[in-house]
Amino acid sequence: MDPVKFYLVTDTHYFKNSLGAYGKEYEEFMDSEQKCFAETQAINEAVFDWLTAADEADTILIAGDLSFCGEKESHQAFTKLLHDCKEKSGKRIFVVTAGHDFNDEPFCFNENGRGTVEGTKFTELYDYYKDFGYDDAIAFNREHLSYVAALSDDVRLLVICNDIDGQKHITYDDAFLGWIEAQAKQAQADGKMMIAMEHYPVLAGQPVLSVVPDARQAEAQKLIDTLADNGVHLIFTGHMHNQSVNVVETAKGNKFYDVCTGSAIGCPAFLRHVTITDADTVEIKSIPIPEFDWDKKGQTGEEYLKAQFDRLLRTVIDGMANNPDVFFRKTHVKRTPATLKIIPAVGKRLAKLTLGGVGRLLMIKVDPSIKKELFADFAVDLVRVVFEGNQPYVEGTPRGDFLLRAFRRVRPFVKTIKGSQGETLDFYETMKHTVGNYGIDDYNAVLKLS
């Protein structure tokens, strides 16, 4: 087979800026938001200008959450961007929609505070995106806006959506799993390689995300078995705005890879360039999103998006000490008379606590090079790198050894934790592989599918 190449971008969250993204309430909203909002039009314009000019592939995949929150005018503007890219470059574009793409009352912000704009129904998405996969499909499932497309004479793309009219992030029923299995078997019968794309991750991007219900496809193992045991060994996903590459084996011994890519409009912001060399070899490369036209206060685009990510974390940490309402709202910790007393006290203590202080509390050794580092600063960096991927806190580094000692100290009290889909996870191993990457490079890797 000839090599097949494509670009992949996800979680574009396009918002037409003229709808309104400014004012006091907007700034308060952005204190607790990981991704950009007002800037998304400018970011997407830069991304698709770059993709239009890029000459290393003639195909673009977009893995869901195309609009910020289902604004009708955002879809109209975004599809114009896609049509312009397609017409100027000749590239083919394949999309999957997701939960942010349909909403009865999307919101905006202006001088009067928070308002609403005209939304989009799930049933209207077909008309917006029919030119980007649906109408040229080999097979099309209208209920799920899912389809099969030919990437080349030898490779097919299975695009699956876990929304239907009126419901988001659904569990796939036997009928839809049967449809997926039929497409995979048809590809095998026709002698074609098949890869997949879905918005929701099928494997948790990092081990600790296994405890978060919204972090992956519901009843993921059923989908993994249906795909991998029928010849589909690779899926491209988004949703969690994290950069990761993970692999598992089914009970039948078949490999399954999930390549999750960071959002275009929030840290970590990357595109993927993918080359399918042959039926067993796929090369993944990561490309930072291009610089975009916005007042970034002298920062690069990467620094600007990183600052917004950190702003969210700082708001939560500072809220513990100074504004518990913000903390409760963002973390979903239950507000009770007891937590109203405990959280501010803990927050004030954390504001002054160093890693050396944590070491004394837990009676663990802390490398002198990091003893004076504030725990709050370290916590912000730690959460961000979990989403950025290639987590650096591995055994043999000062911060990695500090964390592993802390996890070992806690392990007698928390031996296991429960995953959101019923699995039992070893606490220590889960945390070790969350803060440090001991596996596949999350940015650039060559995947062997069998």
Residue 258 lies in a domain: yes
Residue 136 lies in a domain: yes
Query: What pLDDT does 281 receive?
Result: 98
Residue 20 lies in a domain: yes
On whether both 97 and 214 belong to a single domain, the answer is yes
On whether both 309 and 250 belong to a single domain, the answer is no
On whether both 98 and 13 belong to a single domain, the answer is yes
Domain hosting 374: range is 301-435
On whether both 214 and 322 belong to a single domain, the answer is no
On whether both 123 and 239 belong to a single domain, the answer is yes
Residue 86 lies in a domain: yes
Single out the residue in 275, 293, 311 at which a domain terminates: 293
Residue 448 lies in a domain: no
On whether both 311 and 178 belong to a single domain, the answer is no
On whether both 222 and 306 belong to a single domain, the answer is no
On whether both 355 and 272 belong to a single domain, the answer is no
Query: What pLDDT does 80 receive?
Result: 98
Query: What pLDDT does 147 receive?
Result: 98
On whether both 230 and 125 belong to a single domain, the answer is yes
Residue 229 lies in a domain: yes
pLDDT digits (tens, 9 = 90+) for 367-407: 999 999 999 999 999 999 999 999 999 999 999 999 999 99
On whether both 186 and 272 belong to a single domain, the answer is yes
Three-class HEC string of the chain: CCCEEEEEECCCCECCHHHCECCHHHHHHHCCCCCCCCCHHHHHHHHHHHHHHCCCCCEEEEECCCECCCCHHHHHHHHHHHHHHHHHHCCEEEEECCHHHCECCCEEEECCEEEECCCECHHHHHHHHHHHHHCCCCEEECCCCEEEEECCCCEEEEEECCCECCECCCCCCHHHHHHHHHHHHHHHHCCCEEEEEECCCCCCCCHHHHHCHHHCCCCHHHHHHHHHCCCEEEEEECCCCCCEEEEEECCCCCEEEEEECCCCCCCCCEEEEEEEEECCEEEEEEEECCCCCCCCCCCCHHHHHHHHHHHHHHHHHHHHHHCHHHHHHHHCCCCCHHHHHHHHHHHHHHHHCEHHHHHHHHCCCCCHHHCCCEHHHHHHHHHHHHHHCCCECCCCCHHHHHHHHHHHHHCCCCCEEECCCCCEEEHHHHHHHHHECCCCCCCCEEEECC
CATH number where 88 lies: 3.60.21.10
Single out the residue in 226, 258, 293 at which a domain terminates: 293
On whether both 284 and 232 belong to a single domain, the answer is yes
Single out the residue in 263, 293, 323 at which a domain terminates: 293
Number of domains in the chain: 2
Q: What does pLDDT average to over the chain?
A: 96
Residue 140 lies in a domain: yes
On whether both 278 and 201 belong to a single domain, the answer is yes
Query: What pLDDT does 32 receive?
Result: 86
pLDDT means per 10 residues, the chain with 450 residues, are 97 98 95 94 98 98 98 98 98 98 96 96 98 97 97 98 95 97 98 98 97 94 98 98 98 98 98 97 98 97 97 90 83 84 90 95 97 96 97 98 97 95 96 98 98
Residue 449 lies in a domain: no
Query: What is the model's pTM?
Result: 0.96
